[in-house]
Amino acid sequence: MSSSVVRPAAPDDGTTPAHLPARYRAISTHLAIAPRVSVVIPAMNEAENLPYVFKSLPEWIHEVVLVDGDSTDDTVEVARVLRPDVVVVRQRGKGKGDALITGFQASSGDIIVMVDADGSADGQEIVSYVSALVSGADFAKGSRFANGGGTDDMTPVRKLGNWALCTAVNAKFGARYTDLCYGYNAFWRHCLDEIDLDCTGFEVETLMNIRVVKAGLKVQEIPSHEYLRIHGASNLRAVRDGLRVLKVILKERSNRRSPRVRAVRGAGA
């Protein structure tokens, strides 16, 4: 049977195709989206890394929100030179968790992507996160240990710690995660109302991963590659921060909400 459907030709450049309303942004020749994407970047003394981070961000994002943690180098100045439209906010308290919560509140997009400022995340992966969200996931959770992911940055001890904590979260909360303490994630803004973040430090990703499960949100893991920090030293202290993560797991366990299990493809619960 012949079809009379006339299919629009795929556009061959990055502009909005003529047959789409102007609010759609072309992401590739095969994908256009209406939602606005905010990239939230916590940064503390990352001036030397920002050129690499900003360069890897796709041009179709709506805004970049940089949350400065009282940097003593030129982090803010460099960000403004690289991207004059950057939204710079100074965090109120201390710690990465506090910075991210501040940045989420300051952002205006429908989708929020969390990206570290140390050059370990490739901004070109954002399309994978956004694709998962526009096709039905509530929360797109990066994973270095899903097929296709990887890490150049984790020591064997940190891998072991992350695995043990991830196993505990899976057992206690009925998730099927392959990674836990990873900073590259994306989600629809409505998730913030459901997970009600209240933390300050590096335990923030764990808290998010637990609360999205408890809230019954659709989680899809996105394979992601973590590169080495380019310049500077890590702010993470494995034992101190590992214990903070463990504390969050125990606290969330004793403070259970009834989970509604709705898995999308891959991990999540």
Ligand X SMILES: Nc1nc2c(ncn2[C@@H]2O[C@H](COP(=O)(O)OP(=O)(O)OP(=O)(O)O)[C@@H](O)[C@H]2O)c(=O)[nH]1
Nearer residue to ligand X within complex by CB, 94 or 190: 94
What residue 223 binds from ligand X, Mg ion, none (CB within 5 to 8 A, per partner kind)?
Answer: none
State yes or no: residue 236 binds ligand X (CB under 6 A): yes
Which two three-digit tokens encode residue 239?
């034992």
**Interface pick for ligand X out of 50, 57, 99, 101 (rule CB under 6 A):** 99
Nearer residue to Mg ion within complex by CB, 162 or 220: 162
Q: Residues in the site for Mg ion, rule: CB under 5 A?
A: 118, 120, 229
Between CA 46 and CA 83 the distance in angstroms is 15
CB of 255 to ligand X, least distance (A): 25
Under rule CB under 6 A, how many of the chain's residues touch ligand X? 23
DSSP 123: G
Q: Which stretch binds ligand X (CB under 6 A): 16-24, 42-50, 124-132, 207-215?
A: 42-50
Q: Nearest Cα to 210, choosing from 183, 261, 154, 172?
A: 172
Q: Is the dihedral of CA 250, 256, 257, 260 positive or negative?
A: positive
Residues in 6-25 at the binding interface with ligand X, rule: CB under 6 A: none
Give the orientation angle of helix 156-173 with respect to helix 238-253, to 10 degrees: 0
**Interface pick for ligand X out of 133, 229, 245, 269 (rule CB under 6 A):** 229
Q: How do strand 150-151 and strand 225-226 relate by DSSP bridges?
A: parallel
CB of 16 to ligand X, least distance (A): 32
State yes or no: residue 205 binds ligand X (CB under 6 A): no
Q: Where does residue 239 rank: exposed (0-12), middle (13-18), buried (19+ CB within 10 A)?
A: exposed
State yes or no: residue 235 binds ligand X (CB under 6 A): yes
